[in-house]
Structure formats: C-alpha cells, structure tokens
Amino acid sequence: MNNDDFDSFERAGWVGRAAAYQRGFARITAHTIPFLLDAAKVTADTHVLDVGCGPGIVTSAAVDRAADVVAVDADPEMAALAGAENPSVPVHVAVLPTLPFADNTFDAVVGNFVINHTGDPAATLTTLRRVLKPGAHLALTCWTYPAMRANGVFTEAVEAAGVHHPDDVPAGSPMSQHAQQAPFGELLTSAGYRDVRVDVLSWIHRVDPHAWWTDILAGTCVNAAVITRQDELTQARIKREYLRIVKEYATPEGQVALPAVALLASGVAPTGDGG
C-alpha cells in the first residue's frame, strides 16, 4: 500500500468514528498530554498549533495553560468536536502534509498520535517546520510496538483466530519503520530540526475488557476495519482470543491493566544561521 492509498484509507476509515473515539480511545492518549506540552515549551501566551487535534483534549489542556491555541484535524467530525469543546479556539480542517498557515507562524507545534496517521511522515515534518518560527519547538508522540500492548492485543487476537488480514487494510502505517527511539530521532534530524530528543513514555491503561473491545471497534480505524468486516461467528472467535490474551493483565476488580508505551519526540526549528 503506497502513501496515497494509506491516506485514502485513513480518510474513509475515520468517518463516523469521532464521537466513539472521544468516549473511548481518546482516554488512553490523554496520559501523554502534559509531557507533550512541556516538551514544546507551551506556557501562557505561547502561540501553539495543535495538529491532528482529534476531539480537542490537547487543545483544552493548552487553553488551560493560557496558551494562544489554533487547532487542525483532517476529519471534519473531529474538528467539530474540538470546536465544541473549545469555542474560543479557531479549528481548521486540513490533511497533512498540507496546512493552511503562513510560514513562521507558531511558537510551538504539538501533535498527539497524529504522525502515525500520515502517509508521508517526512513531508509532514517539513510542513510543520515551515509553520514554526525559527527557534520554535515541536513535540510529537507516536505508539511504539511491540511494547504497546493496549491495542497490540487486537492484532494478536486476529492472528490467533486464523483470520486473514484484508489486503486493502494497511498492516502498519508509513511511520511504523520510524517508531523506535533512534529512527524517530533521525527522522526529525533529517527534516532539519536541532536539539532532537526522543523519550519513552510508559503507563498502564485500566479498563473493562468488554468496554475496551467496544472502544476499539467503534472508535479506531485499522483494527476496527479488520474485525468488523468478518461475519458474526468469526468476530466472536476473535473476541474469545482477545479475552484469552488480556486475561494475563486481569485485575482483582474485573478490569485489565494494559501496558501502553509511546515515544515523545521533540526538536527545535532551525534559525537559519546554523544554530
């Protein structure tokens, strides 16, 4: 699957999923927000772009810091949710690597789990550098596998059930090859950022296993496409494998404690003088 096909799949795959994502999967992404904003030096009056804003939880956190926030998402439904949650924030619809902003506009750019949804991560980083002021800060997160178990268990369940991965569903994103510390850092450095660092963030996502199954099928894209295309008996077989796999993470309260692991990459836009 080429980059254009990946982008087309993403645009079609997210239609109608924004509200379910907000109720479910967005909760696991919230853990990284303070680290993301700190890495981008977002404080009061920072003119910050929240790129891939989703339903607006990073936007809200930046507003709480009294930052001057602009938000953008590729999905109109996500953008509408972000705008409803943050009525004072301009929210735009645009598909990376295209952004409707002038060069050297922002003091900071943040993107929470968006680069893994882009067909061309390198071009995306170039665009984000373009809209940053010289010396301004970028911070991005992405999942890293196999350490990220909270949604990796669904891929394992599909494989354990003997289900063929559909040919027109991406097995991974173009970012997958960069989703380890050194490659992610090299990607930023190659795009011209300086003072690049990549940190690992680890936490535990505690959730009812049946609710998490629903969260993934209703509010995500790739795993949902693979599983919901199957007939009812096959879906039931996948769910049995899923419940067997997550039993390893069961808690006495009837939840599962799923390991979540992400990379936080940050860098500084070049100043034009080599510094």
Give the fold, CATH level 3, of 3-148+171-204+257-268.
Rossmann fold (3.40.50)
Q: Are 55 and 85 in contact (CB under 8 A)?
A: yes
For the chain, count helices (H), then strands (E).
12, 7
pLDDT at 23 over 90: yes
pLDDT at 11 over 60: yes
Dist. CA 130–CA 133, nearest whole Å: 8
Two tokens at 31?
Answer: 């853990």
Higher pLDDT: 25 or 2? It is: 25
Residue 275 confidence class, pLDDT cut points 50, 70, 90: very low
**What are the CA-CA distances from residue 107 to residues 69, 110, 130 (Å)?**
10, 10, 12
pLDDT at 1 over 80: no
Pick from 43, 14, 12: nearest CA to 137: 43
Q: What percent of the chain has pLDDT over 90?
A: 94
pLDDT at 173 over 70: yes
Q: Where do the domains of the chain lie?
A: 3-148+171-204+257-268
